[in-house]
């Protein structure tokens, strides 16, 4: 770590490390967890991030596999296919070619619960990353995508992109829904009040539905500046349960679709 860092890490991160007896080098709001000190499975590197005052925490776990550039296209195809079936996080390739599992969770205001949520997030991320070792070894070997996905019991990508289905966000969100939505989106560049309201209504819709009675759709969900939510994961959104954590904004540099320009919101992207 760079010795120039003088900021203190998040107090919750410090408490989580101490509670679990985990070692970590911290600077500011982020911490790197070494593999052996967390779950005796080195050398997975996990970065845990909590911005000051934020009600959410993000974790990114990199697999110790470095893919050659000629395999990046194949790796991207595998990531897209796996992400259709991965609930709670997303698989991607870093700029230098390492597979990484990234997930984000809302954190309780109660410290004891928050510490447990931090811990579960780290262990979940690392478990998913471990399960994907074999997949990316096959990617490095240049095995055909369909064969890799068949070996992993993951259906291959559809050759026809799915059209977006608009979710009917007619539910009236309560104050708690609005508070959580604002905490999740405030600080993002160009966020609109309609966008916050749309996320709150999406949460309200999920609360109203009995999750046990509906098949889960993992998204992706796209939340637009005008508050409209679209799902690219299913054709009949009223027949599925959607989690707001699968949603992202469509503007460049935001949580969903880096470099993507949306025809609905494009006028406000300049």
Domain ranges of the chain: 11-151, 165-268
Which residues, 6+ apart, have CB-to-CB distance to 132 below 8 Å? 63, 82, 91, 99, 101
Can you read off the two tokens belonging to residue 1?
A: 């770590």
Torsion of CA 122, 258, 218, 82, to 10 degrees: -70
Can you read off the two tokens belonging to residue 28?
A: 């500011």
Asked whether 132 and 161 are in contact (CB, 8 A), the reply is no
Q: In the predicted model, what is the mean pLDDT of the chain? A: 78
pLDDT at position 158 is 65
Which residues, 6+ apart, have CB-to-CB distance to 239 below 8 Å? 214, 215
Tens of pLDDT, residues 6-49: 456 788 888 898 898 888 876 667 788 877 677 766 568 888 88
Predicted confidence (pLDDT) at residue 259 exceeds the cutoff of 50: no
What is the model's pTM?
A: 0.61
Q: How many angstroms separate the CA atoms of 240 and 222, rounded? A: 16
Tens of pLDDT, residues 87-104: 778 999 988 899 999 998
- Cis, bond preceding 49 (omega within 30 deg of 0): no
- Cα within 13 Å of Cα(270), Cβ side: 1
Question: Is it true that domain 11-151 has CATH number 3.40.50.1980?
Answer: no
């Amino acid at each position: 770590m760079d010795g120039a860092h003088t900021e203190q890490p998040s107090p919750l991160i410090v408490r989580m490390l101490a509670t679990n007896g985990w070692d970590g080098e911290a600077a500011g709001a982020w911490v790197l967890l070494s593999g052996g000190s967390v779950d005796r499975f080195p050398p997975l590197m996990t970065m845990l991030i909590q911005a000051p005052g934020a009600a959410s925490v993000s974790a990114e776990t990199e697999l110790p596999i470095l893919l050659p550039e000629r395999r990046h296209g194949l790796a991207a195809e595998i990531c897209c296919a796996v992400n259709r079936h991965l609930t709670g996080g997303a698989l991607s390739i870093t700029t230098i070619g390492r597979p990484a599992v990234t997930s984000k969770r809302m954190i309780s205001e109660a410290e004891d619960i928050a510490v447990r949520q931090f811990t579960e997030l780290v262990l979940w991320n690392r478990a998913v990353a471990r399960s994907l070792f074999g997949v990316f070894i096959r990617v490095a070997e240049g095995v055909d995508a369909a064969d890799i996905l068949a070996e992993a019991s993951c259906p291959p990508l559809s050759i026809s992109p799915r059209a977006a289905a608009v979710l009917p966000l007619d539910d009236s969100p309560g104050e708690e829904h609005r508070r959580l939505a604002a905490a999740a989106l405030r600080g993002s560049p160009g966020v609109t009040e309609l966008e916050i309201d749309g996320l709150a209504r999406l949460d309200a819709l999920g609360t109203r539905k009995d999750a046990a009675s509906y098949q889960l759709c993992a998204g992706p969900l796209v939340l637009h500046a005008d508050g409209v939510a679209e799902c690219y994961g299913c054709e009949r959104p009223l027949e599925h349960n959607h989690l707001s954590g699968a949603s992202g904004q469509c503007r460049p540099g935001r949580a969903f679709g880096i470099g993507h320009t949306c025809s609905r919101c494009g006028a406000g992207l300049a």
